[in-house]
Amino acid sequence: MKKTILILTAPFGAGHTSAAKAIKDLVLAEYPEYRIKIRNFISISVPKMNKPMISLYENNTRYTPLIYNSYYYFRKNMDTKYDLAHMLYSPKITEYILKIKPDIIISTFPVACECINDFKIKHPDNTTPVITVVTDVVNSKEWIHANTDYYFVPSREVKNRFMNKGIDPERIKVTGVPVDNRFFMDRKTASEYKYRILVVGGGRGLFDVDESFMKWLDSFVGDYSTDIKITIVTGNNKKLYHYLTEKNPLSNIEVLGFVENMPDLVENCDLMITKPGGATLFEAINSKTPVIVKYPKVGQEIENAKFIIDNGLGLVYKTEKELVGIMNDLVVGKIDSVFDYMERNLTFVRHTIYQDLIPNYINDILEDDWA
């Protein structure tokens, strides 16, 4: 009988879901005999709340980050045994687990981890192994639960911090945030340009720069058209795509909407102006692409940005004026050595994470041969 892997995720930002899909693809490439189910834990438990919860998350992170951060840091520092956030979701998730009887359960979202912990508390005889996949460079307590058997974490720093919280280091593997394996590349395509820049705002197309800055950027590229090439990917932001291509079209910048070939675009760029999400960060690490990000306002992205700074993986700016300065320095070669340094750091960090071993780790657990 085929063994079943259940992956619970959530649609708050693209990173949790993309990590789940990456794990599925990685495992099936090595072990096609396994059956893998990816489920949004809210759709299982209270499906009518899915869209309202997504809207609440997006509005809070974009317009009221102080409110979001209050909740985030509360959960980050609170012992999870006192957290009741999972109680709304746990009953139906428990029913679902008992129905499909998975051989292993993987969670890529903190509240889903809580639900599984609750399931194990209420069913102490259930021996299904549980894996938590941490999708930002954080060591928040919301990810840590007594009934989690194994942790896949983004970096050695997070492993050390988890170990310092009393978790057996043998149960913690540094996998990075799992991303599409096509982002793993050793060299970029050849180009006549000095720099090719990819500007992305995630699947939702939410950028840290506004339309007026994009118009300035278009004029800037016009002045340095032989040195620099810029592509903007608007994702699912149809309003922005319409604005940049029809209402007030850019003349010197390529504008794309939702794309399915992001690895190809990354292979054809030299650096990215992006947001410091967990998935985006590890797409950059695996492809050895320096990043330029705005210092964020929300908790987990703040910690990702600190990781970028501490490891020299990109530049973090605070104002559009600073970003203008970076662009001007870029075209005159003032910071070429900085980006060379970042590429070396990206290579070093990539050598410390082991995404490619995820299938073997999971197979060993399923075969009860965890080392």
Return contacts of 146-151, CB within 8 angstroms, 24+ apart.
146/81, 146/117, 147/116, 147/117, 147/120, 147/121, 148/113, 148/116, 148/117, 149/365, 150/361, 150/365, 150/370
The string over 33-42, giving b where at least 16 C-beta atoms fall within 10 Å of a residue's C-beta and e elsewhere, is ebebebbbbb
Q: How do residues 64-120 score in pLDDT, each as one tens digit?
A: 666 655 655 556 666 656 666 667 788 899 999 999 999 999 999 988 999 999 999
* pLDDT recorded at residue 271: 95
Confidence of residue 371 (pLDDT cuts 50, 70, 90): very low
Residue 136 belongs to some domain of the structure = yes
**Same domain for 200 and 330:** yes
Higher pLDDT, 2 or 176: 176
Q: Report, in angstroms and rounded to the nearest whole number, the Rg of the chain calculated over CA atoms.
A: 21
Tokens 């700074």 correspond to 309
User: For residue 308, how far is the Cα from the chain centroid?
Assistant: 14
Is residue 4 over pLDDT 50?
Answer: yes
Across 354-368, average pLDDT: 94
Do 187 and 275 fall within a single domain? Answer: yes
What residues form DSSP beta bridges with 230? 197
Quote the tokens at residue 157.
């720093």
Domain of residue 24, residue span: 4-176+353-366
Q: Domain with 99 in it: what CATH number?
A: 3.40.50
The structural domain count of the chain equals: 2
What are phi and psi for residue 268, nearest 5 degrees? Answer: -100, 25
Q: Within a domain: residue 371?
A: no
Report pLDDT for 41.
85
Q: Is residue 86 part of a domain?
A: yes
Overall average pLDDT of the 239-256 stretch: 92
126 and 12 in a common domain:
yes
The reply to whether 140 and 191 lie within a common domain is no
Q: What pTM was computed for the model?
A: 0.90
Q: Which two tokens stand for residue 53?
A: 């919860």
Q: pLDDT band for position 208 (50/70/90)? A: confident
Query: What is the pLDDT confidence band of residue 2, given thresholds at 50, 70 and 90?
Result: confident
Looking at residue 45, what is its pLDDT? 75
pLDDT in tens, 313-328: 999 999 999 999 999 9
Three-class secondary structure of residue 152 per DSSP = strand
CA–CA distances in Å: residue 331 to residues 60, 195, 254, 285, 328: 37, 8, 18, 23, 6
User: What pLDDT, on the 0 to 100 scale, is given for residue 142?
Assistant: 86
